[in-house]
């Protein structure tokens, strides 16, 4: 593949990954955790656990798929993480209808967001696989962007884990702050 083609794929993949991260933040943090509070809804408990699994896999994918590496183990980990993420995405789609029935189901806007996310992730993954084939050690904008996204991805994963373990924590913290103000 020519250098220009690789550089173009790197830029396209970086753009897709960057927009994917922004839209994922909107959907995964703002919509799921803040607005809908899925972690606190008994009917959505399994959906939140699936989202937690996907949040835990994203940093792994950033390090192993979207960064160059010549070692076979990181590429194998990337393929396994990608397969696990795909499986969790299918499970998420399968349980979403029942999970959201108590709050009126999934809105048309959220269907559009999910479709957009699937497309962006597919473009980013395809570009990464073409730009960083196994055995290459060159880096580009995908590598740089994955490093910049990693701290936020780790924080989002940690928030998902905490809320999965303690779904009443936000209410408890809010009550503590209100009581401290009195």
Could you state, in order of their start, the residue ranges of all structural domains in the chain? 3-165
Helix, strand or coil, per DSSP, at residue 36: coil
pLDDT of residue 95: 95
Which residues lie below 8 Å from residue 24, measured CB to CB, with a gap of 6+? 58, 117
Q: How many CB atoms lie within 10 A of CB 9?
A: 21
pLDDT at position 71 over 70? no
pLDDT tens track for 121-170? 999 999 988 887 755 556 688 889 999 999 999 999 999 999 999 988 87
pLDDT at position 72 over 70? no
Phi, psi of 132 (to 5 degrees): -115, 65
pLDDT at position 12 over 70? yes
pLDDT at position 16 over 90? yes
Q: Which residue has the tokens 């780790």?
A: 154
Q: What is the pTM of this model?
A: 0.89
Average per-residue pLDDT for the chain: 89
Tokens representing residue 151 in the block: 């701290």
Tokens representing residue 55 in the block: 């949040």
């Amino acid at each position: 593949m020519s250098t220009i083609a690789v550089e173009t794929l790197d830029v396209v993949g970086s753009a897709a990954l960057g927009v994917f991260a922004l839209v994922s933040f909107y959907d995964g943090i703002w919509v799921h955790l803040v607005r809908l509070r899925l972690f606190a809804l008994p009917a959505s408990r399994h959906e939140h656990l699936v989202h937690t699994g996907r949040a835990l896999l994203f940093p792994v994918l950033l390090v192993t798929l979207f960064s160059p590496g010549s070692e076979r183990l990181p590429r194998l980990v990337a393929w396994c993480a990608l397969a696990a993420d795909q499986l969790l995405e299918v499970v998420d789609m399968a349980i979403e209808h029942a999970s959201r029935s108590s709050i009126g189901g999934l809105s048309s806007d959220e269907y559009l967001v999910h479709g957009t996310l699937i497309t962006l992730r597919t473009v980013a993954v395809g570009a990464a696989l073409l730009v960083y084939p196994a055995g290459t050690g060159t880096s580009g904008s995908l590598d740089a962007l994955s490093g910049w996204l990693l701290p936020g991805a780790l924080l989002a994963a940690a928030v998902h884990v905490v809320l999965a373990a303690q779904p009443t924590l936000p209410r408890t913290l809010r009550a503590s702050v209100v009581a401290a103000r009195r």
